[in-house]
């Protein structure tokens, strides 16, 4: 029997993908695989609990045991929008280790919850998960917007993860994603100032060690410069 493994991140796309996989294949051979970065919003864990209860499939949790900033410390590198080693160490590698131990590539399909607006990522993700076969249920029609997926959770009596209602496009790493842009970090400063402060503190520690690096960049006169969170906050507060 083919094993169906959904990369179940706590995001709404992977939830909707799991719904489609369950509708098509049932839940007997369904695995909901969650890689815990240890810095997720607490409400993400509540959502995972509600979602797995509704599907009646236990959650399979893998973890590296470090947080993103602990990975940056160990790698002597500060993650940013272009290169985020945290994603490899905290998500891809633990999931791959689990697949190596539990899933025969000849009889397993891995499902990823990106939607049709992110279809350009498909070839890279396929290459990344080889030799396992990958499918992208939310790239298939009917194409749903994020809002429609959120409405589907409510229709099933499940409250969506609160970060969406708080204005975040993604429910990952508690909003402190190093791949997020300046706009989200400003939103993060206003919404969760203590999380912003924690990220700023960690960024400053890496800067003390590595020099003028930053999660964010800005362009001035056609030249790209690091934009530390401390400076972003200073400007926001001055304004």
Based on the shown chain and the rule CB under 6 A, indicate whether residue 214 belongs to the binding site for ligand SF4.
no
Among 156, 134, 132, 208, smallest CA distance to 47 is for 156
Q: Are the C-beta atoms of residues 12 and 150 closer than 8 Å to each other?
A: yes
Q: Least Å distance between CB 85 and ligand SF4? A: 8
Residue 122 has, within 13 A of its CA and on its CB side, a CA count of: 15
The gap between the terminal CA atoms of the chain, to the nearest Å, is 60
Based on the shown chain and the rule CB under 6 A, indicate whether residue 78 belongs to the binding site for ligand SF4.
no
CB closer to ligand SF4 out of 5 and 180: 180
CB closer to ligand SF4 out of 22 and 84: 84
Based on the shown chain and the rule CB under 6 A, indicate whether residue 177 belongs to the binding site for ligand SF4.
yes
CB closer to ligand SF4 out of 108 and 172: 172
In this structure, what are the phi and psi dihedrals at residue 165, rounded to the nearest 5 degrees?
A: -65, -25
Q: Are the C-beta atoms of residues 187 and 28 closer than 8 Å to each other?
A: no
- Looking at the DSSP assignment, which residues form a beta bridge with residue 63? 36
CB closer to ligand SF4 out of 158 and 173: 173
Candidates 178, 214, 227, 232: give the one binding ligand SF4 (CB under 6 A).
178
Instruction: Count other C-beta atoms under 10 Å from residue 165's C-beta.
Output: 11
Based on the shown chain and the rule CB under 6 A, indicate whether residue 114 belongs to the binding site for ligand SF4.
no
* Residue 59, H or E segment: strand 59-63
Based on the shown chain and the rule CB under 6 A, indicate whether residue 22 belongs to the binding site for ligand SF4.
no
| x-or-dash string of contact with ligand SF4, 36-75, rule CB under 6 A | -x------------------------------x-------
Residues at the interface with ligand SF4 (CB under 6 A): 37, 68, 79, 84, 86-87, 90-91, 172-173, 177-179
């Amino acid at each position: 029997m083919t094993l169906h493994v959904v990369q179940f991140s706590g995001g709404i796309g992977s939830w909707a993908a799991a719904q489609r996989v369950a509708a098509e294949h049932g839940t007997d051979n369904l695995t909901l695989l969650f890689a815990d970065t240890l810095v997720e919003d607490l409400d993400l864990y509540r959502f995972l609990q509600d979602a797995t209860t509704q599907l009646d499939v236990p959650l399979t949790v893998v973890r590296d045991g470090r947080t993103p900033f602990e990975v940056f410390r160990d790698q002597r590198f500060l993650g940013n929008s272009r290169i985020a080693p945290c994603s490899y160490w905290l998500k891809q590698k633990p999931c791959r280790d689990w697949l190596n131990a539990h899933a025969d590539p000849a009889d397993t399909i891995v499902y990823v919850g990106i939607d049709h607006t992110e279809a350009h990522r498909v070839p890279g993700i396929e290459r990344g998960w080889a030799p396992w076969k990958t499918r992208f249920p939310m790239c298939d029609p009917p194409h749903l917007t994020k809002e429609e997926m959120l409405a589907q959770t409510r229709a099933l009596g499940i409250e969506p993860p609160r970060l969406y209602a708080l204005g975040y496009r993604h429910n990952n790493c508690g909003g402190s994603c190093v791949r997020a842009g300046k706009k989200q970090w400003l939103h993060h400063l206003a919404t969760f100032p203590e999380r912003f402060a924690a990220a700023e503190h960690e960024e400053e520690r890496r800067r003390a060690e590595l020099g003028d690096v930053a999660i964010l960049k800005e362009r001035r006169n056609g030249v790209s410069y690091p934009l530390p969170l401390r400076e972003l906050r200073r400007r926001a507060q001055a304004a």
